[in-house]
Amino acid sequence: MAKKRTDGHNPSIVVKGLSGNKPVAQARKSLNFRFIFSEIDKPFFILMLVLLVFGITMMFSASFASSIYEHGDGYFYLKKQLIFAIVGVIAMLIISTIDYHFLQNTKVAYLSFLGTLALTLFTALFGVSTADASRWIIIGPIRLQPSEILKITYIIIFAYILAVNFPKFKSWKYSILPFATIMGVVAIILALQRHLSAIMLVVIIGITMMFVGGVPRKTFWTFIGAGVLVVCVFALILIVAGGGKFSYVLTRFESWRDPFSDISGDTAQTYQGLLAIGSGGWFGLGFGNSRQKYLYLPESQNDFIFSIVCEELGFIGAMVVILLFVMFVFRGFFIATKAKDRFGMLLATGIVTQIGIQAFLNIAVSCNAFPNTGISLPFFSYGGTALMLQLAEVGVLLNISRQGRMKK
């Protein structure tokens, strides 16, 4: 005679309603798929939304005068940025549900990197030139900056090779050579675009990922020393032999040393930015009340938006922005430490480093603590390509967090 089960389990139990007549496990899977917020990293997601809303609001204020002057519509930049933000948030949510391990594939990692590298080189040679820098290509109504995509594929290829080569790190052929080669090729192509800030960014990202990825300390510091020497020699050759094409580097350093030396010429942007910061005081002039954005400060909605934040919201508002980015970095690195595997940890480290260092450099440039490099402030500066890609990267971080918290 068959015994009855006493554990309360009945395989015939079904769930009716939203999922129809399906077994419990299948119904749960369906519900999780339909409600993508159920397992999302809520603190990080909320922080991201705060940064995004704050950024768009300040971009609108900073761009209002330029929008009227250039397009006859004070809401022109706001409307475009809102479209980019909506598309980016949708992409972020979708990507947060896709297992990031699909990037841990030889074909995906190498083909995506080589493709964006070739596109960036093409842009440097034949792209649209603005202020003597060829960084954009136009595809129909879309103005695309391939170097922004290259930053992401660069992080992916670094994370992939670091994870694969880790057991062989005793040999410099596996711990140094691949990364030095990739870093050097990317830097040369970005130099052709006169993209100094992007060069600095990829170098810092690469070094950070190598350090975190477990490259032997002695080998790592030897590489750093040799790298500094090579960079100094290469920079000197470019400036001397490159003539006028790279002389802008020296000009920017001179402008940084004395921002008041040519306030109607080379140092005008830095000078106007400092005026905006100084005018804000502790509490600012009030939202929308900036004076420098009325065509005095070039790129007020882009590279120098932090100066407008300081002018309108004062020291307190500026500290809030800095605090939000610090929280973003800390939470991002926390996600990296909880990643399911080495690849996820390295991928998260690269993304957080990119966004954190970019924010730091932008703020430093606005305060003249660093030479003007033409770098945007993540989630704040106007730019569709950059904003959508940054939100997509946040989607990857959310998925790494989701995977790390799943029961094994």
Section 203-219 average pLDDT: 92
Q: Is residue 228 part of a domain?
A: yes
Task: Give the percent of the chain with pLDDT over 70.
Answer: 85
Q: What are the pLDDT digits (tens) for 145-170?
A: 888 899 999 999 999 999 998 888 88
Please provide the average confidence, as pLDDT, over all residues in the chain.
84
What is the average pLDDT across 17-33? 44
For residue 31, is pLDDT > 50? no
Residue 245 has pLDDT above 70, yes or no: no
Task: Identify the three-state secondary structure at position 385.
Answer: helix
Range of the domain at 182: 54-405
Q: How many helices (H) and strands (E) does the chain have?
A: 14, 5
The tokens for 247 are: 């002389």
Whole-Å CA distances, 71 to 66, 74, 139, 284, 296:
8, 8, 21, 28, 17
Residue 13 pLDDT more than 50?
no
- Which of these, 175, 176, 172, lies nearest to 184 by C-alpha position? 176
Question: Of 309, 327, 313, 312, nearest to 363 (Cα)?
Answer: 309
Provide the 3-class DSSP secondary structure of residue 136. strand
Question: What confidence tier does 131 reach under pLDDT thresholds 50, 70, 90?
Answer: low
Predicted confidence band of residue 16 (pLDDT cuts 50, 70, 90): very low
Q: What pLDDT shows up at residue 247?
A: 62
Q: Is 129 helix (H, G, I), strand (E, B) or coil?
A: strand
Residue 1 lies in a domain: no
pLDDT for 130:
67
Inter-residue contact 328 to 391 (CB < 8 Å): no
Share of the chain above pLDDT 90, in %: 45
Give the pLDDT confidence score for residue 383 in this predicted structure. Answer: 86
* Other Cβ atoms within 10 Å of 115 Cβ, number: 14
**Averaged pLDDT, 44-69:** 94
Say whether pLDDT at 246 is over 70.
no
41 belongs to a structural domain? no
Identify the band that residue 12 occupies on the pLDDT scale cut at 50, 70 and 90.
very low
Q: Which residue has the higher pLDDT, 167 or 1?
A: 167
What pLDDT is attached to residue 244?
A: 56
Residue 406's pLDDT band (cuts 50, 70, 90): low
Residue 111 is assigned to a structural domain of this protein: yes
Residue 225 lies in a domain: yes
Q: Give yes or no for residue 69 having a pLDDT over 50.
A: yes
DSSP state of 40: S
Query: d(Cα 330, Cα 307) in Å, to the nearest integer?
Result: 24
> pTM for the complete prediction?
0.86
105-114, 267-276, 319-328 — which is least confidently predicted? 267-276
* Out of 225-234, 347-356, 384-393, least confident range: 225-234
Lowest mean pLDDT among 7-11, 290-294, 404-408: 7-11
Between helix 342-366 and helix 384-405 the angle, nearest 10°, is 140
Q: Residue 225: is its pLDDT beyond 70?
A: yes
CA distance 276 to 310: 7
Q: Is residue 290 part of a domain?
A: yes
Mean pLDDT of the 31-58 span: 82
pLDDT score of 81: 94
Statement: residue 26 has pLDDT above 60: no
Position 94 scores a pLDDT of 92
- Can you tell me the mean pLDDT for 41-53? 93
Which residues is 137 bridged to in the sheet?
A: 144
Q: What is the pLDDT of residues 379-400, one digit of tens each?
A: 999 988 889 999 999 999 999 9
Q: Does 305 score more than 90 pLDDT?
A: yes
Q: What is the pLDDT of residue 228?
A: 85
Comparing 45-54, 131-140, 185-194, 217-226, the range with the smallest average pLDDT is 131-140
Residues 6+ apart with CB under 8 A from 234: none
Kindly state whether residue 4 falls inside one of the protein's structural domains. Answer: no
> Tell me, what's the pLDDT at 267?
78
For the chain, how many structural domains are there in total?
A: 1
For 167-194, the pLDDT digits (tens) are 888 888 888 899 999 999 998 898 888 7
Query: Does 42 fall in a domain?
Result: no
- Alpha-carbon distance of 408 to 398, in angstroms, equals 18
H or E element at residue 23 = strand 22-23
